[in-house]
Structure 1
Amino acid sequence: MQQELLNNGYFWQKLDSLVLSTNLVISQPKGSRHPQYLNMVYPVDYGYLSDSASMKVFKGSLKKSTVDAIMIVVDILKRDLEVKLIMGCTEDEEVKILRFINQTDYQKGFLVRRGNDLPEWALTD
C-alpha cells in the first residue's frame, strides 16, 4: 500500500484542530470504575469533547494537546462502532487502554498510531 494511504497528515491535523477548539470533559478519572461494569477500572482519564456529537477521549499523563492515536472499537452489546481519541499517553498507558477495551468478549478494539511522515503530496515548497 502506498505511504500516502497509510498516514494522511491532514487527517491528524483536522483531529488536532477539533481537540484544540473544543473543551475536554473528563467524565471518568483515572482509577474510577465503569458505571455499569464495576470490574472495569479506567487506566487513564476518560471523557468526551463537549462540542462534538460523540467524540470520546482517553487522556494520559503527558502534557500534550495533540492526538497521538485513535482506537477503533466495536461493541456488540451496543451494536456500535466507535472511534476514540488517544491523547498524551505513554506507550505503557496505550497498552493499558488496549487491555481495558479488550478485556471482555463484548467489545474489541485496535489502535492506529499517528505517524511522523507526511505523504509526498502534502509537502510544499
Structure 2
Amino acid sequence: MEHPDFWSALDELIRRSQLVIDRPRGSAHPRFPALTYPLDYGYLAQTSSTDGEGVDVWQGSAPAQSLNAIICTVDLEKRDIEVKLLLGCTREEIQLVLDFHNRSPSMKGLLVPRPGSTP
C-alpha cells in the first residue's frame, strides 16, 4: 500500500533541515574501529530521532539527491529502534547500507523503498 503523504512529509522535513555529514564514506565507527562507513553518514540538524539525536541520513552518489528509501533498524545493545533516511542512493549503495545494518547479531535493518523510486 502506498502512502504518498508519508513520503511527502519526509521530503518536507529534509527540505527544512540542514544535512550534516559527520561520518564520511570510509571513516571508522567511533566505538567499533573495524567497522567503516560505506557511504557518507550524518543527520538532519535540529531534528530528533528516538535516540534523542538528529534524524540519521545515508547519502549516496546518485545525481538526484532525493529520498528513495528508509531503513528501520533495531539495536539490541542500545535497546532502540530508529528510522534512517537514504538520499540519492543507487541500488548498489542501498545494498551496502542494508548489509551494514545487518552484519551484527545485535543490529538488524529492514529496507522500505519509496514506491516508484528507481535509483
User: For the Cα contact (< 8 Å) 1:20–1:65, is it kept in 2?
Assistant: no
Amino acid at match of 1:111: L
In the alignment, structure 2 segments of 5+ residues that lack a partner are: 49-53
In the alignment, structure 1 segments of 5+ residues that lack a partner are: 1-5, 118-125
Q: Distance in 2 between matches of 1:64 and 1:16?
A: 13
For the pair 1:32 / 2:27, whether they are aligned, the reply is yes
1:48 to 43, 52, 62: 43
Higher normalized helix content (fraction of residues): 1
TM-fit CA distance, 1:7? 1.4
Q: With a CA cutoff of 8 Å and minimum separation of 6, indicate the structure with the bigger relative contact order.
A: 1
Q: How does 1:74-113 map to 2 (within 5 A)?
A: 74-113=74-113
User: For the Cα contact (< 8 Å) 1:98–1:109, is it kept in 2?
Assistant: yes
Cα root mean square deviation, aligned: 1.2
Structure of larger gyration radius? 1
Aligned residues: 112
Deviations 1:66-118 (A, max 9, x none): 2110000000000000000011000000000011111111100010000029x
Q: Distance in 2 between matches of 1:7 and 1:33?
A: 36
For the pair 1:9 / 2:4, whether they are aligned, the reply is yes
For the pair 1:20 / 2:15, whether they are aligned, the reply is yes
| TM-score (norm: length of structure 2) | 0.90
Identical counterparts, % of pairs:
41
TM-fit CA distance, 1:63? 2.8
Q: Distance in 2 between matches of 1:19 and 1:68?
A: 12
